[in-house]
Amino acid sequence: MSYCLNPNCSDPKSAGHFRTCEVCGTTLLLRDRYRVIQSLGQGGFGATFLAQDEGLPGGPSCVIKQLRPSGSAPHVIQMARDLFEREAKTLGKIGTHPQIPRLLDYFEESEHFYLVQEFISGATLQQEVRKNGLYSEPGAKQFLTEILPLLQYIHERKVIHRDIKPANLIRRSQDARLVLIDFGAVKNQVSQAAANPSGQTALTAYAIGTPGFAPPEQMAMRPVYASDIYAVGVTCIYLLTGKTPKDLNYNPTTGEMMWGDLVQVSDHFRNVLSKMLEVSVRSRYQTSQEVLNALDMEPYLDSLSNSLLIKPGNNTTQQSMRQESHEAPRFSRSSHPPSNPGANPNLNVAQIAAAIRARRNKPGETSGITTKRTNSDNSISKSNVLTNVKSNNQPERKFDAQGLLQAYLKGRRDFSLRNLRLLNLAGADLSGANFHASQLDKINLQGAKLYDSDFGKACLVQANLKDANLSKAYLSHADLEGADLRGANLTCAQLSQANLKGANLCGANLAGAKVSEEQLALAKTNWLTVRPNGKRGLM
């Protein structure tokens, strides 16, 4: 099978293995080694093809991008050459990264320009949503934890992608990792127009990305690193709603995308997305790390919003008690936030964040944080850790198995920072639940459905997770020491930095899971264990 690259060929497909096209006479073997076998897509800038590299044993697959100038004038050819060289240099500048296709070759032939890249087998996120349906909130968060570190890597090399969208993100079949493609950001053909008096050429005029995914400053030809963060935010909205930007309404006054009523997510995650999608670039997150930090704090802030809110009323009594004990005000689960954000000068966001970081450094401890104010600096320090704070500051009765299941059936999904030790939840369906930083040691979740659930920083020491469905579960920094995971489905699970010492993974399916060989070396595996690369065996 061969495919002719001449755009004017009347019958480009050929069943034979020829060196030249029988219809138009165009060479079919580029550079005497690349044989195009199929068209993958066409756009204003040119076309993309699947090819075989006959210069290597076995003829491995590769992708060839062909840039086709719209005219033969010298300045048009030069602009096309500049675009071609820019993308090649960009890929070379980025270097080797497992989530970016490798640049294999680039060359010019018959005034057409070609980039040869590694072929990524898999479905785009656009295809994935159309086939499997919408993402849940944990799924969208996991997407962000996969794409944002890659974005940070690109930005550190002073590269702005400019065209992040679902169609340019491929879920690689081999390991289920996301791969970012298309670093050309060239969506319109090279025009015949020469440079205008201001010095702006067609090169700068049309390399603006995809309308809707690109923020205003990028459409005005002034992209910054935060422009890519906006595009990732729009991609999140697509994953949650299935709607592209052209299907959404916009505020005619501010230009903001109106998506709030279309998604069902926690308040904090909604705030994170809102800041990613700020029309004003100054109000937007400036770096990927800022977004990751905000996401990392969410489980703690969700719990704080329930258990660390100022109880209104009786201020005189509370003030008197604080003066006697030198304590900052306590908070109750049933109370509401003060109407005046400045009403409590002893407690602010920065201090809460400091308390969160202090608590995060001790992952074995759980639940609510009480704080103490010193006379010298009014600062907040961690003084005690309780199990679920009630309005009277006494430990709240922890969930029993029946109570937790009833709460889940009524729509509750947030069980973060909870003491759930020793519960028997065998066979329960708790998909999409949030157990972030909860105490779950020796819990029985055998055969449970835990798809897309969040166990980040949770204590699962000696937990029974045998035959549980943990596909796409978030287990980053979780403590799974001695846990029974025999036969568990951990496909595409996030296990980075999880403690797997002594965990039993015999027969578990880890295909596509994010976990290192060093972590797996601490666990028990056997020949039935499916490794992250999809292969069975001990190594």
Q: Where in the sequence numbering do the catalytic residues fall?
A: 163
Q: Residue 146 is encoded by which pair of tokens?
A: 């996969």
Whole-number Å distance between alpha carbons of 431 and 426: 13
Q: State which amino acid sits at residue 179.
A: V
Q: State which amino acid sits at residue 42.
A: Q
Bin 422: left if φ > 0, else alpha if -120 < ψ < 50, else beta.
Answer: left
Query: Where does 80-181 show beta strands of DSSP type E?
Result: 103-109, 112-118, 122-124, 169-172, 178-180
Distances (CA, A) of 498 to 433, 441, 489, 522: 19, 14, 16, 11
Sole residue written with tokens 């100054």: 282
How many Cα atoms occupy the beta-carbon half-sphere of 6 within 13 Å?
18
Whole-number Å distance between alpha carbons of 35 and 51: 5
Whole-number Å distance between alpha carbons of 336 and 309: 6
- Angle, CA 229 vertex, CA 225 and CA 231 arms, to 5°: 115
Helices (H), strands (E): how many in the chain?
12, 17
Q: Residue 222 is encoded by which pair of tokens?
A: 């002034």
Whole-number Å distance between alpha carbons of 104 and 30: 14
Q: Residue 531 is encoded by which pair of tokens?
A: 């490794």
Residue count of the chain, please give it: 539
Task: Give the pairing type, strands 103-109 and 112-118.
Answer: antiparallel
Q: Residue 352 is encoded by which pair of tokens?
A: 């809460």
Q: Residue 270 is encoded by which pair of tokens?
A: 């909604």
Q: Which spans in 361-451 are helix H?
A: 401-409
Whole-number Å distance between alpha carbons of 265 and 274: 12
Other C-beta atoms closer than 10 Å to the C-beta of 141 total: 24
- Angle, CA 16 vertex, CA 14 and CA 21 arms, to 5°: 55
Q: Under DSSP, is residue 403 helix (H, G, I), strand (E, B) or coil?
A: helix
Strand partners, 494: 474, 514
Do the beta carbons of residue 454 and residue 478 sit within 8 Å?
A: no
Do the beta carbons of residue 367 and residue 418 sit within 8 Å?
A: yes
